[in-house]
Amino acid sequence: MFGIHIIQGDILFANSKVIWKWSIVSLQKVLNSVGIRPGSG
């Protein structure tokens, strides 16, 4: 049972890292699109 908890913790940690990277990339895309075309739309 203890080993299962460790594996679940590793999976949660990996998922949080993926979500963190995805949120940073999407935020950079938004900032780039705003910065490249400041007055269009």
Copy the structure tokens of residue 4: 């299962």
What are 10's two structure tokens? 């590793």
Q: What is the largest CA-CA distance in the chain?
A: 58
Tokens of 19: 């979500």
Q: What is the pLDDT of residues 1-24, one digit of tens each?
A: 566 667 788 888 888 999 999 999
Query: What pLDDT sits at residue 7?
Result: 77
Count of C-beta atoms within a 10 Å radius of residue 17: 10
- pTM of the full structure: 0.49
